[in-house]
């Protein structure tokens, strides 16, 4: 039986999200699927959009990332239909996640976002989590959007040093 390609792409996305116990970014999922040439960018975006619309995955956007996670409907769907993904594709996903789990986890544990709170005022929200437990959660108010963007970008690259500094200074 030939299956509709878009359905397979959706199942691959659900399978990936089901194989980790943390959210993956849209970029992480896309990079894996596009690097292996399972499909093209437009089909992938359509598949992700339809999964979100069908409430099988949840998308949470921040300053520079969209985090994807399974919903209960997504879990049920992949448990029923995950076997329709080829054994080779499942093995590639499992190997990729096994070899890149720490990097993938670290990438989604550090988040930054900003928002406008009043005229001439922005808040940059920075957080670091480990296994879903908040290590640090900081909100800074600044007068310019450019400053908020710079704070968010610097948090992504310097979060470990900043966290270590806070620990030394506070303990």
pLDDT tens for each residue of the chain, 171 residues long:
345 888 999 999 999 999 998 889 999 999 999 999 999 999 999 999 999 999 999 998 866 678 899 999 999 999 999 899 999 999 999 999 999 988 888 777 888 889 999 999 999 999 888 777 888 999 999 999 999 999 999 998 899 899 899 999 998
pTM higher than the cut 0.85: no
pLDDT at 1: 37
> What is the pLDDT, as a whole number, of residue 3?
54
What residue ranges define each of the domains in the chain, with the CATH number in brackets? 5-107 (1.10.10.10), 109-170 (3.30.160)
The predicted pLDDT at position 130 comes to: 77
SS3 of 76, please? helix
Across-strand partners of 138? 126
CA dihedral 149, 150, 156, 162 (to 10 degrees): -130
| Residue 118: per-residue pLDDT | 92
Could you give the CA distance from residue 67 to residue 139 in angstroms, rounded to a whole number?
20
Q: Give the up-direction half-sphere exposure of residue 11: CA atoms within 13 A in the CB hemisphere.
A: 19
- According to the model, what pLDDT value does residue 142 have? 96
């Amino acid at each position: 039986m030939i299956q509709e390609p878009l359905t397979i792409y959706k199942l691959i996305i659900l399978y990936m999200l089901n194989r980790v116990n943390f959210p993956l970014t849209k970029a992480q999922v896309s990079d894996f699927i596009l690097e292996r040439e399972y499909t093209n960018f437009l089909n992938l975006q359509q598949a992700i959009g339809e999964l979100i619309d069908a409430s099988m995955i949840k998308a949470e956007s921040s300053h520079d990332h969209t985090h994807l996670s399974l919903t209960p409907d997504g879990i049920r769907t992949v448990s029923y239909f995950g076997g329709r993904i080829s054994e080779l594709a499942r093995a590639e996903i499992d190997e990729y996640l096994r070899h890149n789990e720490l990097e993938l986890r670290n990438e989604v544990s550090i988040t930054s976002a900003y928002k406008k709170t009043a005229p001439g005022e922005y808040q940059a929200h920075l957080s670091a989590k480990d296994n879903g437990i908040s290590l640090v959660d900081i909100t800074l108010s600044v007068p310019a959007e450019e400053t908020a963007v710079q704070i968010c970008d610097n948090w992504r690259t310097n979060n470990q040093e900043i966290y270590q500094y806070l620990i030394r200074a506070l303990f």
